[in-house]
Amino acid sequence: MTSSPLIELAGITHRYGATVALDGCQLDIRPGEIHGLVGENGSGKSTVVKLLSGIMAPTEGTVRVDGKDVDLRSPTAAQAHGVLTVFQETLISDDCSGLDNVFAGTDGLFRRRRRSKAELELATEVVERLGTSPSILTASPYQLSLAERQVLTLTRALVRPWRLLILDEATSALDLATRDRLFALLQAERSNGRSVLFVSHRMDELEILIDRATVQRSGHTVGTVDRAEATPSRLLSMMDGRSESEHAGAATVTARRRDEQGTAARLCGVALSSDARPFDLDVRRGEILGVGGLDGHGAVALVEAFAGVSLPPKGKVEIDRDGLWSRVRGYRNAVASGIAYVPGKRQEEGLFRTLDVRDNLAMATYGEHSRLGVLRPHAIQQAVRAQMQRLGVVPDDPDYPITGLSGGNAQKVLVGRWLAAEPDLLVLNDPLRGVDIGTKREFYALMRELTDAGMTVVMLSTEIEELLTSCDRVAVCHDHGLEAVLEGDEMTYDGVLSAMFGQAPTLATHERTRA
């Protein structure tokens, strides 16, 4: 094995406006190694992938291939250097065959009428090596499962002359058998001097596969470790900066209490799309109910139903108001019933970018702090200050423009907007996406404090880890139905993941569905 790296990122810094996504990133991938890239969301992993794939150019720093400076200005340029990327999203066009999808972009300007026999043979060989039937090459992609679609995107990369294959969470859609076949294939190709950059949240996969791993935290490269050192607890402590011993107990420490104080809100016979199976779901008072599911499988519709933002096509949403069930008939009605909703897309649905922190925090409660429509500035100032202190908003200045705050602090302001309304049920739509780990911790602690005081929380998250560590129970949506409600021992990474893919653990004592 040569010591000169196949590809090297030296002192890479990348900014989006004022946001520093990568700060002095160092990464070298040797020929013939499988290199792990790990880090929390927002640590800069996906920026590294985008830079290597030629999707973006770095603001500062050098990219070297075989020791020579290169400019990966486009995906085509990256492919010319043998860098191929497979993303988590299965980028497949339903309008052409599997085979056409595999060779998309290789024809030049005009599309050829027919694929050559050699191309078919090459694709067939790769598909079979992945343990999948070659029929997926001729079938219409819309008939294929998510896993089969992902096999197509993998094949698309593997049929090309690749030297570095980047797998960006690309295994999450695969079934276990296919995943193991893929790993075997990667390990075999390693001896041909080919390398893999493996980006994953799955500690078990990293452990069996990688030769070395590089850890990112908040845009910085924490370091690169060899296989022997790359234990899950070591990687986790590098990822979030806590000590290893803290991590040893972390998974089991989370207190999962269950208050027998009854039901705070419930869905009765709700269907999340007109042809989906209806289900019931109760939210217990004082619990944090996590909501998960793959994109487009109804998780967003579920939290929006609780918040009255969009009413489900079938069934009813009810909230307990002093012992009486009150039906949620719309958004304003939900707010009046003591429900608060923190939307998911911070920029599009949450922030008033032209206004200051005070307006952003108090807008929804201005009505309460007014007499005959005239504001009471003193009361507002007090309320705003109280929320900012409780949430630890930095800087501590209500006159500050909201665009001057970091993502985490802006999110605190949005949560504060609705905490100020003192709701009984707080519905959060992926509140911590792209938020730094420090803010996340503060936020988990705050949610515990609130639920201890009797508030009930429904929280959607796209991160399984987050659902496991911060929630009492996890409701998982699949195909616009409720696949499982996991609690206690059932709340495992694999349990949630399986449910997301429609494989609810058979032992799960989830809410019975009304057929």
Partner 1 sequence: MSTSAIEQTPTPTSAATSRRRRGALSSLLVYLAPLAMFLVLMVATPDVLSRTGIMSLLVLSAVLGIAAVGQTWAVMIAGIDLSIPATIGMANVLLTTLYAKGWSFGEIVVLLLVLSILIGMANGVLSSIFGLHPLVVSLGVASVVTGGVLISVDGNTGGDVPGFITNAVSPRGSVLGVPLPAALVVWVLVAVVVVLVERRTVIGRQIFALGSNVTAARLALARPMLIRVFVYSAGAICASAAGVLLAGFSGGASVDIGAAYLFSTITAVVVGGTSLLGGAGGYARTIAGVLVTTEFTTLLIGFSVGPNMQQVMLGIAILVLITVYGRDRHVAHRL
Number of Cβ within 10 Å of residue 364's Cβ equals: 16
User: Please, what is the minimum distance in Å from the beta carbon of residue 16 to partner 1?
Assistant: 9
User: Please, what is the minimum distance in Å from the beta carbon of residue 484 to partner 1?
Assistant: 30
CA 472 – CA 252 distance, rounded (Å):
13
Contact 461, 492 (CB under 8 A): no
SS3 414: helix
User: Please, what is the minimum distance in Å from the beta carbon of residue 91 to partner 1?
Assistant: 28
Q: Does 442 bind partner 1 (CB under 8 A)?
A: yes
CA 405 – CA 107 distance, rounded (Å):
47
Cα dihedral 316, 320, 324, 330 in deg (nearest 10): -40
- Phi/psi at 177 (5° precision): -65, -45
SS3 347: helix
Number of Cβ within 10 Å of residue 111's Cβ equals: 9
Instruction: Output the DSSP codes for 297-310.
Output: SSHHHHHHHHHTSS
Among 1, 3, 18, 252, binds partner 1 (CB under 8 A): 18
Instruction: Output the DSSP codes for 251-300.
Output: HHHS------S-EEEEEEEEESSTTSPPEEEEEETT-EEEEEE-TTSSHH
Q: What do you get for the CA distance between the two ends of the chain, in Å?
A: 60
Which CB, 348 or 489, lies closer to partner 1?
348
Q: Which residues contact 67 (CB under 8 A, 6 or more apart)?
A: 4, 5, 8
Q: How far is CA 358 from CA 60, 181, 352, 410, in A?
A: 36, 55, 11, 12
Which CB, 344 or 481, lies closer to partner 1?
344
SS3 160: coil
Which CB, 227 or 376, lies closer to partner 1?
376
Q: Does 352 bind partner 1 (CB under 8 A)?
A: yes
Q: Kind of pairing, strands 195-199 and 164-168?
A: parallel
Q: Does 377 bind partner 1 (CB under 8 A)?
A: yes
Q: Does 295 bind partner 1 (CB under 8 A)?
A: no
Instruction: Output the DSSP codes for 196-257.
Output: EEEE-S-HHHHHHH-SEEEEEETTEEEEEEETTT--HHHHHHHHH---HHHHHHHHHHS---
Task: Name residues contacting partner 1, limited to 403-432 (CB under 8 A).
Answer: 403-406, 408-409, 417
Contact 436, 219 (CB under 8 A): no
- The one segment of 118-126, 131-139, 229-237, 348-356 that binds partner 1 by CB under 8 A: 348-356
The site string for partner 1 over 212-241 (x = CB under 8 A, - otherwise) reads ------x----------------------x
Which CB, 20 or 268, lies closer to partner 1?
20
Which CB, 8 or 430, lies closer to partner 1?
430
User: Please, what is the minimum distance in Å from the beta carbon of residue 502 to partner 1?
Assistant: 32
User: Please, what is the minimum distance in Å from the beta carbon of residue 447 to partner 1?
Assistant: 16
Which CB, 139 or 250, lies closer to partner 1?
250
User: Please, what is the minimum distance in Å from the beta carbon of residue 381 to partner 1?
Assistant: 13
User: Please, what is the minimum distance in Å from the beta carbon of residue 202 to partner 1?
Assistant: 25
Among 230, 235, 351, 458, binds partner 1 (CB under 8 A): 351
User: Please, what is the minimum distance in Å from the beta carbon of residue 54 to partner 1?
Assistant: 22
Residue type, 402: I
Task: Name residues contacting partner 1, limited to 316-345 (CB under 8 A).
Answer: 331-332, 335, 341, 343
Q: Does 441 bind partner 1 (CB under 8 A)?
A: yes
User: Please, what is the minimum distance in Å from the beta carbon of residue 345 to partner 1?
Assistant: 9
- The one segment of 4-12, 92-100, 124-132, 371-379 that binds partner 1 by CB under 8 A: 371-379
Which CB, 297 or 417, lies closer to partner 1?
417
Which CB, 232 or 395, lies closer to partner 1?
395
**Residue 411, Ramachandran bin (φ over 0: left; ψ between -120 and 50: alpha; else beta):** alpha
Contact 35, 197 (CB under 8 A): yes
Q: Does 60 bind partner 1 (CB under 8 A)?
A: no
Task: Name residues contacting partner 1, limited to 82-141 (CB under 8 A).
Answer: none
Among 400, 426, 432, 471, binds partner 1 (CB under 8 A): 400
User: Please, what is the minimum distance in Å from the beta carbon of residue 354 to partner 1?
Assistant: 4
Which CB, 351 or 499, lies closer to partner 1?
351
Q: Which residues contact 390 (CB under 8 A, 6 or more apart)?
A: 416, 419, 446
Q: Give the count of residues interacting with partner 1 (CB under 8 A).
A: 47
Q: What is the largest CA-CA distance in the chain?
A: 79
CA 91 – CA 202 distance, rounded (Å):
22
Residue 345 DSSP code: -
Which CB, 97 or 406, lies closer to partner 1?
406
Q: Does 253 bind partner 1 (CB under 8 A)?
A: no
User: Please, what is the minimum distance in Å from the beta carbon of residue 392 to partner 1?
Assistant: 8
Q: Does 57 bind partner 1 (CB under 8 A)?
A: no
Which CB, 58 or 495, lies closer to partner 1?
58
Closest by CA position to 507, among listed 491, 291, 493: 491
Q: Does 43 bind partner 1 (CB under 8 A)?
A: no
Provide the binding-site residues for partner 1, judged by CB under 8 A: 17-20, 218, 241, 309, 331-332, 335, 341, 343, 348-355, 359, 363-364, 366-367, 370, 373-375, 377, 394-395, 400-401, 403-406, 408-409, 417, 436-439, 441-442
